[in-house]
Amino acid sequence: MIHRHATVRFRAAVFPGVATLALGLSSCLKPFEVNVNTPEPIKVDLSVDVNVYQYNAGEKKKNGEDNSAGFREAMDRTRNRMGEVQELKNNRLVGEDRSGLLSIRNRPAGEYGEYVETTVEAENRDRELLMRQEAGEEDTPLAKIREEQWKHRQRKSFPGEWIEVLEEDGRNYQWIQKQGASAPDAAP
């Protein structure tokens, strides 16, 4: 029992000392200010594209196949091929044409040229399937979907990449290398 009381007395004696020490140290410290202002406002440039797709599992093609399965597979293939397509664009071998498809601008010789052709053909098949699917789901003319894809792909192209644009006369098209970044809502 004596030991128990000694422990209690020791704790009682320690706590007032700790409290006094903490108060003493806090009075020695001076508050300091941190300036978080910037000379000019911080500017952030964001570009966001949101694609909304509706998948109807119950909707079937006339021949009984599931529409959404081919659509998803085509989307996966285009997603998996993005790096290859971008490399071809970076090398200025292909460009985005007015129908929402890729066009070969400069075909290399030999096996690499064959690779470029097969890659572009595969990408265009999948893009065509995706555009037709979208037109059917939205009950929109395919020409309108093609135009939307053309404008979207022009906006997303990097400076120096080949794009097909409408000339000032509004009737003819020409190939140019994109000069600068376009605003997300700007027309091509």
* Model pLDDT for residues 12-39, shown as the tens digit of each residue: 455 566 566 565 655 556 677 777 777 8
What is this structure's pTM? 0.60
| 131: pLDDT strictly greater than 60 | yes
- The 8-class DSSP code of residue 30 comes to P
Band the pLDDT of 184: cuts 50, 70, 90: very low
Return the pLDDT at 20.
63
Band the pLDDT of 120: cuts 50, 70, 90: very high
**Smallest Cα–Cα separation from 142: which of 157, 156, 131, 158?**
131
At residue 13, what are phi and psi to the nearest 5 degrees?
-75, -30
71: amino acid identity, one letter: F
At residue 104, what are phi and psi to the nearest 5 degrees?
-80, 125
**Smallest Cα–Cα separation from 119: which of 149, 156, 77, 148?**
77
Helix (DSSP H) and strand (DSSP E) numbers for the chain: 4, 4
Lowest mean pLDDT among 30-44, 52-66, 106-120: 52-66
Instruction: Report residue 147 as tokens.
Output: 């135009």
pLDDT digits (tens, 9 = 90+) for 139-176: 999 999 999 999 999 999 999 999 999 888 888 999 99
